[in-house]
Amino acid sequence: MSTVPSHRLIEANVPRYTSYPTAPHFHPEVTSDTVGQWLDAMPDGEAVSLYLHIPFCDKLCWFCACHTKQTLRYEPVADYLAALHCEIETVGRRIAGRNSVAAIHLGGGSPTMLKPDDLRALRRKLDACFKMTPDASLSVEIDPNDMDGEKLDALAEIGLTRASLGVQDFDERVQRAINRMQSFETTAAVVDGLRARGVGSVNLDLLYGLPFQSVETLIATVDKALSLEPDRIALFGYAHVPWFKKHQTMIDDATLPGATARLAQAMAAAQSIASRGYARIGIDHFALPEDSLAEAAREGRLRRNFQGYTDERCGTIIGLGPSSISQYMQGYAQNEPSTGEYGRRVSKGLLAIARGIALSDDDRARGWVIERLMCDLAFSASEAIRRFGATGAEVVAEASLLAQNSTGLRRDGDHFVVDDDDRIVVRAIAANFDRYLAQRQSRHSAAV
């Protein structure tokens, strides 16, 4: 029988740890010149991943915390795509002949706002500027409300291998409260259309903790989602951060479930999904046992980055588009968030870096420990010391004290372990290793 994590962990406000150090600690001392040096220093032959940010939506969902803006006109999108092509050319020249691309991700915003011909043109530009590996993957975040047969055809033509469909919740009352009306029938038609065109993997994104949600309504949504037989499901907790995303003030705080109710929703939905044969991946993902993400988890190869959990082996992720974040061996870098300033810089053939952070030895050791806890619910003391030497030993010593004095982390021989019952609060447990958390007053979403 499962136990409930402590209230201290449930109610903690901590980062999502898609990076370490996390984005609030990036600073402007990392510049375009810095990143140019990092690009030039990339090892020859290294395969990289590309993330392309499409910062537009035709309707603004009130729950969204992404960097995006609403537009009902296509002209700003077309202008932005011209700038994005310029950045692709600039980065492509920096790594031409040395590095190949193994994975492409289109996120947003709503990438499926793009017209079919613009999707095709974007793929042609990528192919012209980068060398693709023979098995390069292409994943796209899809808003089912944007889709029609012509767009489905275009996505298939450009080589879509994995589609991630935003669902959130199928309950109409919840949908009205978050300004995201989307019927089950619309979603099912897109899933059928993708599979009919040979797209090999379909993922669905669900949210708990939304206004007016209850365990009963969420389970009804989960049952409908499972009827579509997705390869993966992501079950995210809604991050209510109105101080950061002003449009979230449109959601009445009084309609949101409290910490105990959120926990009940998350645990009930997770149990329902797992009972249908899906493997639990990290804190909020589920995958069919034969899916590559489940295989990576079983083999200890699971990674975590700004796209969430991944089985990709690329150590370098190059972010393209405003606000996108890149991950290099030396550190992280984020592009200008303003589409106007971004466009002015890339149109001149410049990189558009606004800020970032160079990694110290301490950052690398703590980042590795946090990632392993987030992915495996455990890490090896001897491996930490082998990888990071004296710095790793310092972090292991901290873990030993935590295991003696705190809830959530225990020692089992060489390993520090988070029990499966505490999986849902592993963010709060991992936060014990975050040296930056107490240094700056940054507000974060709830751990559950």
Residue closest to 395 by CA, chosen among 386, 384, 408, 403: 384
* Same domain? 385 vs 298: no
Q: Residue 440 pLDDT more than 70?
A: no
215-227 and 259-274 helices, crossing angle to 10°: 30
Q: Is residue 54 part of a domain?
A: yes
Q: Is residue 15 part of a domain?
A: no
* Same domain? 209 vs 81: yes
Q: Which domain holds residue 245?
A: 22-320
Residue 154: partners with Cβ closer than 8 Å, 6 or more residues away: 116, 117, 119, 120
* Same domain? 54 vs 122: yes
Q: What is the chain's mean pLDDT, rounded?
A: 94
* Same domain? 229 vs 88: yes
Q: Is residue 150 part of a domain?
A: yes
Convert the pLDDT of each residue in 94-115 to its tens digit.
998 899 999 999 999 999 999 9
Q: Domain holding 92: CATH number?
A: 3.80.30.20
Q: Residue 8 pLDDT more than 80?
A: no
* Same domain? 389 vs 294: no
105 or 248, higher pLDDT: 105
Percent of the chain with pLDDT over 70: 96
Q: Is residue 50 part of a domain?
A: yes
Q: Domain holding 426: CATH number?
A: 1.10.10.920
Q: For the chain, how many structural domains are there in total?
A: 2
Label residue 264 by pLDDT band (50, 70, 90): very high
Task: For residues 109 and 322, give the distance between their C-alpha atoms in angstroms, rounded to a whole number.
Answer: 11
pLDDT at residue 229 in the model: 98
What is the 3-state secondary structure of 292-360? HHHHHHHCCCCEEECCEEECCCCCEEEEECCCCEEECCCEEEEECCCHHHHHHHHCCCCCCEEEEEECC
* Same domain? 239 vs 167: yes
From residue 213, alpha-carbon distances to 117, 219, 220, 245, 318 in Å are 39, 10, 11, 21, 37
Label residue 445 by pLDDT band (50, 70, 90): low
- What integer is the mean pLDDT of 359-380? 98
- What integer is the mean pLDDT of 391-405? 96
* Same domain? 132 vs 281: yes
Q: Residue 129 pLDDT more than 70?
A: yes
User: Does residue 181 contact residue 169 with C-beta atoms inside 8 Å?
Assistant: no
pLDDT at residue 4 in the model: 59
pLDDT at residue 1 in the model: 39
pLDDT at residue 441 in the model: 55
Q: Is residue 434 part of a domain?
A: yes
Single pTM value for the model = 0.93
Q: Is residue 239 part of a domain?
A: yes
User: Does residue 178 contact residue 61 with C-beta atoms inside 8 Å?
Assistant: yes
* Same domain? 287 vs 378: no
